[in-house]
Structure 1
Amino acid sequence: MTSPPLVVDLDGTLIHSDMLHESTLKVLRERPLDVLRIPFWLLQGKAVLKSRLAERMALDPHLLPYNGALLEWLKQQRASGRKLVLCTASDSRIAQVIADHLGIFDEVIASDGATNQAGQQKAETLQARFGKTGFDYAGNSSADLKVWKHARHGIVVNASAGLATQAKAVCEIEQVFPAPSAGLSTWSRALRVHQWMKNVLLFMPLLAAHQLTNVQAWKDLLLAFIAFSLCASSVYISNDLLDLDSDRQHLRKRKRPFASGTLPVFLGVLVSPLLLAASLVLAAQIGTSFFHWLLLYFALTLAYSFGIKRLMLLDCLTLAMLYTIRIVAGAAAAGLTLSFWLLAFAVFLFLSLAFLKRYAELESQSLQGNTKAHGRGYYTSDAPLLQTLGVAASYASVLVLALYLNSEAVTKLYRTPEFVWGAVPIMAFWVSWMWMQAHRGNMHDDPVVFALKDKASLATGVAFAAVLALGALV
């Protein structure tokens, strides 16, 4: 007996994402003014909305997060002679591009700008095309219950245990493909909790001013740390959502929760503004000055995400400023005055780390055979020049540190400045070590994360702290 056609849903089933959400984000990134038209398109119906978005986006089907287990099973079904049909509520232009790319579907049924092929409408379309129980159906959502009700067999994909139970009540389930795990560790990676260590820079002005016994300053800085961390996580999520295509072409970034489809895009759209709101509420409790610096940080990160990151050199300068703003904001939260030396040292050091980050990315892209970094304003051939600029900035930071240690401020803060001079060769070693690791291809594309895991960097940090402590106490 010949098996009936196997009908496969697209969003959340064949791919670990939703093309309506992805197309909206793509239009937001590439044609932001068109986003203002979305409410008017939606008033004309979801089919019209999907059509307008589809005609404004260029889809690369190679980059989508396909459900690997389901796709392999479908290929086996096709090899056995079974007819496969892609039936989706996504627009027909998107569905056809994906079907052509995969090359396993015999037919495509999709929304066409007038009819939205979802839920009951999809069920009626399939009944008219194949007859009642004349097809098997693979789906993932509660809307698919209306389709399973008229299918011979059901294939449940990426669904909760509750939905699987509901599906079994309306038709015989042939196969179940479980949803990817999305627990606390997944959200930790989405929020980039490990990146919160960068916000320790907020405490630098307090340490540099030797105000370790200022209890109120510590309390304010702790709140500031939480506020900056929540704001940073909001930005990280937004950046990931806007950078899906670039991340999916990166060896490591393609595994990020939103790029891989482990977390649905719409959750990121909901969580990001909530994190920002919580951050601003905390910042308002600390003081007006800190609140303004946090707003500047957020505005600059948005500008970076929407365009600056695609501009060569300006992207690195912006990254350096984002690091430096943390120090300035820390001084504002603690009510301290920043020294010129600390700011100058920070700017050059963080500029070096920004160049190091780009250099590592370009080296990685070069190993993949690419001549241009996707979503960036660099060619892989620019790596040697970035290396030169970064090393120069590194040693400029060491020079500023040396000049600071010869200033009057040091004699006022440290009992034995001679011990503190040891910080200069220690810093020179560390920046040289970091660039050597990058040159050898050992560098994580985020130097700060690399340094937190690197034994030599941690030992250097301990040595740096030790000479400062000796200079202050002995």
Structure 2
Amino acid sequence: MQNSGTNALSPPLVINLEHALLRSNIHHEGAIIFVREEIFTLPASIKGFLVSRQWNTKKKSSPDPRVLLYNQDLLAALKNERKNGRKLVLYSALPFSVVKAVCEYHGIFSRCLVLDATSQNDQDLCRKCVARELGLSSGDFELISSPADFHVLKVELPDTGQSAAPVWPTVLAIISAIRVRHWSKNVLVFVPVMVSPVSTTENWYQSILAFLAFSLVASISYVCNDLLDLQADRAHPTKKLRPFASGALPVASALFLIPTLLIAACFAALPLAISFQITLVVYFVLTCLYSIYLKRMLMIDVVVLGCLYAIRIAAGGEATGIRLSEWLIAFSALFFLALALIKRQAELATMMKIGRKRAGNRSYRTEDFSVVAALASSAAFSAVTIYAVFVWSEVQTEVYSTPRALWFAIPVLVYWLGRMVLLTHRGDMLEDPIVFAATDAKSLLCGAVVFGILQWAH
């Protein structure tokens, strides 16, 4: 690196915002922000139109400079150049307000320029326009218009140019984006065939197809949710590592992912009953409403989240033709409400750890932590009570050959639910309790024991 005196006499360094300083496509992200704001403000816009008969056309679709995805290696080198006295200029074809906001945020650029798109994309024309704006000749400054120009800094920077990305990291990023590890939630579609004493091989085959269909549809909602929450995720301590937020996958790749997942889900659901297909559509619509509106509504979000869990069990019954008992429906409603509340409790624990009052897209505050924990405990042990009343009643004697065996599941449920609440209270829970349970040895052991008890009872 050059010394301070040399840098003070070095020619100005002119850097392109879109193609050099940023690692993501700001135009695509701007479109996502516009769609997000249009969707989120739609109820208010409709209400305003009904009152004033005029649509509110004032939208803020500019990306927040604090959460844009910058090339950190280049940024560090530029800060060092500025520290040593070199003049830095940022140019872009974006609106002046956006470029100015980025300049002010970083505080290392002495000036920002706005060129038209044609001038920006033509190297020679770009040099002429920059020279004219700065009052210099074309050779009196150095230009970084793309990663290929990083060599002018005379420091080692990774080549992030147009070379093809390695296949394996991209595959891993896609797997992460569609949340394959969250597919464990969809094992709930197997509950009807697991508890039924008359299940057949055909029922298991139907459950497998239902599992695949639900997993693929859920992945679509995850991709859409990550796109809509792009800026909020980048401000989150762990969610910023998600593929779209971190830049591991470009936003435009969603145009390939979503249709592919949708087609695959349709093929998986096609051989199953029409009632299952309707249930799958209802689930997808509800997940979209949850991602866009409902997850920001106090308590409504946990009720809907609990319903989304319970719908999976209902869908398993529709796929196999196995009728679900009222007892199972009542138990599921309270059990999954408890898990939804534990999920919110875990999120609040994370916010408390990083010193924030609330998550950016939730209605709960950190002072609600104890109340949410109490509600989670109440719902959990109410579910155990429902199960105990079912075992005590005479209804189960019509279904199970050894009904007394069902009593042994109660201490297992009490242990597991109590442990989940306590781990969450300590801040040791991942933000999704079912995903946590799928990777936790003690939770898996509890699940195996309960499954064994059900088979014994049959």
Whether 1:430 aligns to 2:416 is: yes
TM-superposed CA distance for 1:156, in Å, is 7.8
Whether 1:97 aligns to 2:98 is: no
**Does structure 2 retain, via aligned residues, the 8 Å contact 1:136–1:152?**
no
What TM-score does the superposition give when structure 1 sets the normalisation length?
A: 0.83
Q: How does 1:250-329 map to 2 (within 5 A)?
A: 250-329=236-315
Which of these residues, 42, 62, 65, is aligned with residue 66 of structure 2? 62
Whether 1:84 aligns to 2:88 is: yes
TM-superposed CA distance for 1:160, in Å, is 3.6
Shift of the 82–179 alpha-carbon distance from structure 1 to 2, 3 Å rule, reads farther
Aligned partner of 2:217 in structure 1 is 231
Which of these residues, 198, 203, 215, is aligned with residue 217 of structure 1? 203
SS at match of 2:117: coil
Q: How does 1:71-470 map to 2 (within 5 A)?
A: 71-110=75-114, 115-116=116-117, 119-120=120-121, 123-130=124-131, 131-140=137-146, 157-161=159-163, 182-212=169-199, 214-470=200-456
| Cα distance in structure 1, aligned partners of 2:168 and 2:201 | 43
| Cα distance in structure 1, aligned partners of 2:361 and 2:293 | 9
Whether 1:19 aligns to 2:16 is: no
Residue type of the partner of 1:349?
A: F
TM-superposed CA distance for 1:139, in Å, is 4.3
Shift of the 33–313 alpha-carbon distance from structure 1 to 2, 3 Å rule, reads closer
Structure 1 segments of 4+ aligned residues over 6 angstroms from their partners: 151-156, 178-181
What is the Cα-based RMSD across aligned positions, in Å? Answer: 2.8
| Cα distance in structure 1, aligned partners of 2:91 and 2:107 | 15
Give CA deviations for 1:378-420 in whole Å, capped at 9, x if unaligned.
Answer: 1111111111111111011101111222234422332222222
**Does structure 2 retain, via aligned residues, the 8 Å contact 1:140–1:157?**
no
* 115-124 vs 341-350, greater mean Cα deviation: 115-124
| Cα distance in structure 2, aligned partners of 1:260 and 1:447 | 24
Tell me how many residue pairs correspond in the alignment. 429
**Does structure 2 retain, via aligned residues, the 8 Å contact 1:181–1:262?**
no
TM-superposed CA distance for 1:207, in Å, is 1.1
Residue type of the partner of 1:189?
A: S
Give CA deviations for 1:20-57 in whole Å, capped at 9, x if unaligned.
Answer: 2222212212223999xxxxxxxxxxxxxxxxx99623
**Does structure 2 retain, via aligned residues, the 8 Å contact 1:136–1:153?**
no
Shift of the 160–303 alpha-carbon distance from structure 1 to 2, 3 Å rule, reads same
| Cα distance in structure 2, aligned partners of 1:11 and 1:313 | 41
Residue type of the partner of 1:102?
A: H
SS at match of 1:90: coil
TM-superposed CA distance for 1:60, in Å, is 3.2
Unpaired stretches in structure 2, ≥5 consecutive residues: 1-5, 43-56, 132-136
**Does structure 1 retain, via aligned residues, the 8 Å contact 2:193–2:322?**
yes
Q: Sequence identity of aligned pairs in percent?
A: 35
SS at match of 1:370: coil
Whether 1:31 aligns to 2:50 is: no
* 339-348 vs 15-24, greater mean Cα deviation: 15-24
**Does structure 2 retain, via aligned residues, the 8 Å contact 1:13–1:158?**
no
SS at match of 2:69: coil
Shift of the 278–136 alpha-carbon distance from structure 1 to 2, 3 Å rule, reads farther
**Does structure 1 retain, via aligned residues, the 8 Å contact 2:82–2:88?**
yes
Residue type of the partner of 2:34?
A: V
Relative contact order, higher structure (CA 8 A, sep 6+): 2
Residue type of the partner of 2:13?
A: L
| Cα distance in structure 2, aligned partners of 1:137 and 1:200 | 55
Aligned partner of 1:173 in structure 2 is none
What TM-score does the superposition give when structure 2 sets the normalisation length?
A: 0.86
